Structure 1
Amino acid sequence: METIDELNLISKRVNFGNSGHGCDVKHDVPAVFFSNGGYTGNVYHEFNDGIIPLYITSQHFNKKVVFVILEYHNWWITKYGDILSHLSDYPAIDFRGDNRTHCFPEAIVGLRIHDELTVDSALMQRNKSIVDFRNLLDKAYWPRIHGLIQDEEREAQEKLRKQMSSSPSSESEPESESPQKQEYIIKQKVQENPLKKPKLVILSRDKSREVTNENSMVKMAEEIGFEVEVLKPDRTTELAKIYRSLNASDVMIGVHGAAMTHFLFLRPGSVFIQVIRESSLYEKYDKNDPVLRDPQSITKKGWEFTKKIYLDSQNVVFGLRGFRKRLQHAQ
């Protein structure tokens, strides 16, 4: 709470006809006040403490609502702008940076939260659920994804066009194809989709909780019959690109951490595998060390101590034999 600005509410009767209490901006829709402080910058907290509660609190306004933000960050607006535009028709207001007097007919101060990464349909108007939240993500990211696909198709067509024009076989043909037919052939080749394999996305890490035998895991998954994509998102990775990869996947796997929050981007019915065991700590500590035998005694020493040992100082080794069975089952 130390990193969240305090907002004082004062109840008073005001006559807005009095020039001394005029409105610089008069709104005819409600406001929702919330903070971008706390642990913003960590994708888990951005969704758990921010985006999902914002959806819960504001979706019933059908976009006729203004967001007033404490600890306003331009990068956050840029990162989540696609989602915000599907929750509000109006630009967000920087509470500290905008010195005008704004008047609203109604205001909600703070966000409602149901549970971790949860939308409880029993508490929502019209029984909205996490599926509805994911549908909103789909609407938010699809225009950008569509643009990415078009760009890639244009690049592929241009590459194929150059290959066809420089091919020796094309020079030996007595009659070249018409430009229209050539263009049709190029588009067909670009859009050709061989028998589709199930797709596995591995959320990769470095620095801490890194999978030390990741290459072996990729090779094994490909042998089983998966198309494998190794995804290593960071704070600058565009969310639409992450959404595109995971939305197209059948299985997502990764080591416990904030990035696993991206499981929200999976299609319903996809398989989600989160790894929390088989730690490299077994190689660093004696089997009777409290780090292994009594983790609770370690966590009692505080978050920083716990984080240093269990999050920052360990890597993960996959037991490939057991993991093969799980992948075959997921397939």
Structure 2
Amino acid sequence: MPWWIAKFKTLFEALSRYEIIDIDDRHDVHCFQSLTIGLKGRNNKELSIDSSTSPYSMKDFRKFLRSWYSLEKITAAIIRDGDKREPRLLIIPRKRSRSFTNVGEIAQLAESLSYQVIVAEPGPDVSGFAKIINSCDVLMGVHGAGLTNIVFLPENAILIQVVPFGKVEWASRISFEDPTKDMNIRYLDYKIKVEESTLIQQYPADHEVLRDPSAIGKQGWVAFRSIYLDNQNVTLDVERLRPTLVKALQLLHQ
């Protein structure tokens, strides 16, 4: 069974009354009256449900996930003046590309601002990670598939998306900034400077990759992705990051 089916098997079983069929491991014949392959998209929005064509919304889907995974936290913490509670911040470090090279410094800064910091990476235990996500008030990570776990966040939680160097703001907006609006999740981003990218260790200062990412984009998506998404890690300037973490705290006070 493919890893992605095994990983989400319990969720698939909740969405359908039919047995999951692994067509790569079956040699018999199956007949169907109709077949839908992939996701049936009716708009250009990512990670969302078009309520104009469906009786359901992303809020309904998130409610379903809370019920299915027994997620107890419905709303993010509301911090009052004098409240000594520490909001929980989850940092997704990533292990391959677009990983934080100084996650220890980032965690230390957050703790100095009174966050309770958790550093965790998604794995095969979807239920366990969903519970970790749901227990948090703020989630921070570099643009990538790991941020789809925002579906498990409580209402009014905050996503801090770290946007890599290389003119990828459009992808960051479509993939995660826009979807937060339908999930009742508040959004902040942190756009890194070239000095915070490990690309400066791979290319000379006057190289086109650093000087003009738009020119690389004109070479096609494969070339663009191989450099800016698959071959870049980030070393955040913690002092430059500080105002973003402070802003998230202020939002939790509202």
What's the TM-score once normalised by structure 1's chain length? 0.55
Secondary structure of 1:274's aligned partner: strand
Secondary structure of 1:285's aligned partner: coil
Residue 122 of structure 1 corresponds to 52
Query: Which AA in structure 2 matches 1:99?
Result: D
Residue 10 of structure 2 corresponds to 82
CA–CA separation in structure 1 for the residues paired with 2:30 and 2:106: 58
1:1-331 matches, within 5 Å, as 73=1, 75-95=3-23, 97=26, 99-100=28-29, 102=31, 107-110=34-37, 111-113=39-41, 114=43, 115-124=45-54, 126=55, 128-142=56-70, 196-234=85-123, 237-276=124-163, 277-278=192-193, 279-331=197-249
Secondary structure of 1:109's aligned partner: coil
Higher relative contact order (CA closer than 8 Å, sequence separation 6+): 2
Unaligned ranges ≥5, structure 1: 1-72, 147-194
**Percentage of identical aligned residues:** 34
Is the 2:92–2:140 Cα contact (8 Å) retained in structure 1?
yes
**Structure 1 or 2: larger helix share?**
1
CA shift, 1:94, in A, is 4.3
CA shift, 1:133, in A, is 1.2
Query: Which AA in structure 1 matches 2:159?
Result: F
Is the 1:82–1:141 Cα contact (8 Å) retained in structure 2?
no
**How many residue pairs get matched?**
203
Mean Cα displacement is larger for which, 285-294 or 129-138? 285-294
Per-residue CA deviations over 1:53-86 (Å, capped at 9, x if unaligned) read xxxxxxxxxxxxxxxxxxxx35443321221222
Query: Which AA in structure 1 matches 2:207?
Result: D
CA shift, 1:202, in A, is 0.1
Secondary structure of 1:330's aligned partner: helix
CA shift, 1:211, in A, is 1.5
What's the TM-score once normalised by structure 2's chain length? 0.70
CA–CA separation in structure 2 for the residues paired with 1:222 and 1:92: 44
Q: RMSD value over aligned CA atoms? A: 2.4
